[in-house]
Amino acid sequence: MGKTARECYRGLVEVCGTAALPYSTDARWVQAFRAGWQNATDQPRPGRPSATEGQVSSVATLLETDRRWTIRELACETGLSHMTVLHILKERLHMRKIASRRVLHSLTEIQKWQRYEAAWMHLQRYKKKGDAFLHRIIALDEAWA
């Protein structure tokens, strides 16, 4: 490449403006790439990992039996912290939360009729299309998928 850290930083500021990395970070990266660094991914750091393979495995096993666990329940069951379970779900198991709307316990008369109409329309579509209609329905809850 042959550019100095200062030249790289000027180009970065020109493109990113105020969102550019600080000069010290840019200079450190230029030095690292000159020393043979091949990519900008996070390098392994010393210290204890946030979750062991055994902990990841225990959370995965619980989710295989039932995906409707909450983070709090998983933390209590495994003895891990809330943040460790969250890290395992998102970073190690690559799961995401699928949220749903809560259903009120007391519906108004209009809401009851709207639900009745929606159910009736679904029943008519099922009678017309059969199982093909059922395969298109996605039910959501606060489970991890």
Per residue in 9-42, pLDDT (tens digit) is: 898 888 888 888 899 988 988 888 888 877 777 6
Average pLDDT over residues 111-121: 89
74 versus 95: the higher-pLDDT residue is 74
How many Cα atoms sit within 13 Å of 82 on the Cβ side?
3
pLDDT for 102 equals 39
DSSP 102-126: PPPSS--HHHHHHHHHHHHHHHHHH
Tokens of 116: 């009745």
Sequence-distant (≥ 6) Cβ neighbours of residue 60 within 8 angstroms: 93
Residue 134 has pLDDT above 80, yes or no: no
Average pLDDT over residues 33-57: 79
pLDDT for 107 equals 74
Residue 66 has pLDDT above 60, yes or no: yes
2 versus 14: the higher-pLDDT residue is 14
Q: How far is CA 20 from CA 26, 83, 107, 138, in A?
A: 9, 30, 52, 42
pLDDT for 16 equals 85
pTM check: above 0.85? no
Share of the chain above pLDDT 90, in %: 19
User: Which residues are registered as beta bridge partners of 144?
Assistant: 97
Choose among 25, 1, 34, 2: nearest CA to 12. 25
For 21-24, the CB contacts below 8 A with 24+ separation are: none
Mean pLDDT score of the chain, rounded to an integer? 81
